[in-house]
Structure 1
Amino acid sequence: MTASTDGPAETGATDRAGRGAGRTSGILLVDKPGGWTSHDVVAKTRRLAETRKVGHAGTLDPMATGLLVLGVGSSTRLLTYLVGADKEYTATIRLGAATTTDDAEGEFLDPEPDQGTPLVTRDAIDEAMHALTGQIEQVPSSVSAIKVDGKRAYARVRSGEDVQLHARPVTVHTFELLGEPRIEDDESGTLWLDLDVRVVCSSGTYIRALARDLGRALQIGGHLTALRRIRVGPFHIDDAHEVEAPDVPGRLIEPADAAGRLFPVVQLTESESIDLGHGKRLSRPDLAGLTPPIAAVSPSGRLVGLVQLRGESARSLINFPEDES
C-alpha cells in the first residue's frame, strides 16, 4: 500500500520514546507509503537501526499504503505469531471493468468498460458483498506472491504464462460500504461506480480478489484502485510512524509490551527468570487454563520468553536475550 495520529496516541508514542533510548529489540509500526515495496521499508529500517536483523509480518503491495509491522533484533521471533493475525483494510473498488491484475495497475480485460455501471442498485451491491462475507473459497489473484512449482505466481504472469491458482478457504469477517457508492468519470468520459469499503479478514485473504469477485457477481467487472491496511492483530495504524522517521530505538514497542498484546502474561520471580533463561522447566500449576504461548516477564519488565504448558510445568518455546532489553 500516511499516519493519522490523535493526541493521546502521540503522547503515548512520546512516552515510549523517552523510555526506549538505546533499545535494540522491539516491534516497529511503520506507515508504508505508496510506491514502496515491503522490502524497501525493511532495507530502510536496517540502515536507520544499524542492524541486518529486521523482518516484517506480512507484505503490502507497492500500490498499497498503511500498516507494516516490523520486528527488530530478537523481536523478529514474534513475527511468526503475527503473520496469521486478522487484518483490517479500507479500500476503493471500481466497478465497470476487470483488469489483468485485479487492480488499477493492470490492463482492462474488456476494452469497452461497462457504461451501465451507474445503474447498479445499492441492494444488488449489498447482496453481492454479503455473499462474499463469512467463510468463503477464494481464488487468489494471479499476480500474488504464491509460489507455483517454486516460482512466484506474479513472476510467471510477467513472463507471459497463464497462471491458474486453486481456491483456498479464507474468512471475511466484515465487508461493508463506507458511505454511498460514488459515480466518477475519467478523462475519456467513462463513468465508473466507486465503492469505499472496509474489510476485516483472516490472513491470506486478497482484497484485490474481493474486488474482482464483486465485479463478477454484479456482471460488470471490478478492480481495486486504493488499498490501506489499518490493523494487524492488536496493532493499529494510529500508532505507526513514517518510514523515514529517525530514532528507531525510541519508536520500538518493547518486547514485553508487544507480547502482552498478543498472549496471556505470567509474571516470574527473579529466580524463575534465571531458570527459564537456562532452559529449565518451571512448576506453575496456576497457569492451567491459559492458552499458550504465554509471555513470561521478569520482575524488571523484561520479556524472558514464550512458554507452553506440560501438565503443571511450563517450558520455554522461545527465549529472548537479556542484553537486548
Structure 2
Amino acid sequence: MSEAESLRHCLEAQLRQPYPYPVTALVQAIRARHGEAVAAVLLYGSCVRSGDPFDGLVDLYVLVDDYTKVYPKSWLALANRLLPPNVFYLEAAVGGKALRAKYAVLSRRDFASGMAWFQSYLWGRFAQPCRLLYCRDPEISAWIVTCLLKAMRTFVRRTAPLCSECFEPMELWRQGLRLSYSSELRTERAEARAKELVRWAAGFYQTVTLPLLRALPWCLKSQGGRVCLTIPQWVRILARLAWGVRVLQGKLLSLLRLIKAAFTFQGGVDYLIFKLERHSGRKIELPERVRRHPLVYGWGMLWRLYRQGVFR
C-alpha cells in the first residue's frame, strides 16, 4: 500500500470514529430544515474531544449542493456565496434535555476550494480530526476524504517553513494551529489551545506527519525522533510574510462574519458573551441596548473587551 493510500485509510478511519449519539437528532433537524440539498454533515470542535454534546454548543458543518436550493430568501444565498459560511443556531430535544448547536453552511464547491485558500479558516480547522455524521452517498464520502487530505497538505506546506530546520513532528502542528487560531478573533489563547488540540490528537498526528512531510518538495531526514527539512531561506521569509498578512486578513474576515451572524444567529450576542466568560474567567455585564441592537451599540463594547485582553 502506498503512503497516499495509507493516508486516505487513516482519514477514513478517523471520520468513522464513534461520536455522541444524541447529535443524530441535530442531523435530522438540519435535513428537515434544508431538504435534499444537504450532501453531508461533519462534526467538529470541542464536542469531538469531550464527547459531551450538552456542554456548550455542538459545532457542525453542513455541506450543500447549491446555496440557492438551501434558502427560501435569495439574500441568504448571496451572503453565503460572498462570505462563506453562513452560521445558524439550532436546538433539538433529546431525552428531555435541550441539545444546542451552531452549524455552518458551505457549498461543496466552497468547501473544496477552502482547503487551499490563502486564509486558513477552513484548512486550519479540517487538518484536525472530525467526524462524519451524515453522507448522502459513498462518492461524497470519498470526496470529503480527498478534501481533508488536501487541507492537511496545505497546512503542512504553509507551516513547515516556520519551524526550525530540525523539529519534533508535534511542533509542526502546535505551530500551525497557533498561527491559525491567531488569524481569527478568538476567545481562547492560541498557544494554549494549540497545545491542547495536539495533545488530544497526538496519535493521529504521529501517524500522518511523516507521509505528509515526505510529499513536500524539500529534502527530508529523520534523526532520533526529530525531522530535518532543507528549506531555502527565501521560502521561509515568504512564509513568515504570508502568515503576517493572513493574521491581519483573518481578523478582518472574522469581524465581518460576526456582523453577518447578527442577522442569522439567534441569541448570537448572548452566546458570544458566554464564550468570552467561559474562556477568560471573567464576568461580563451585557447592557440591554447591546443585546437589542448589537450592530449599533456593540462596537464600543467589543473594542473595550479587546483592549482588556478578553479576546484577541
If the TM-score is normalised by the length of the shorter chain, which range does it land in? under 0.3
Q: If each structure's strand is expressed as a fraction of its own residues, which one has the higher value?
A: 1
TM-score, scaled relative to structure 2: 0.26
Q: If each structure's helix is expressed as a fraction of its own residues, which one has the higher value?
A: 2
- The higher-RCO structure (CA 8 Å, 6+ apart) is 1
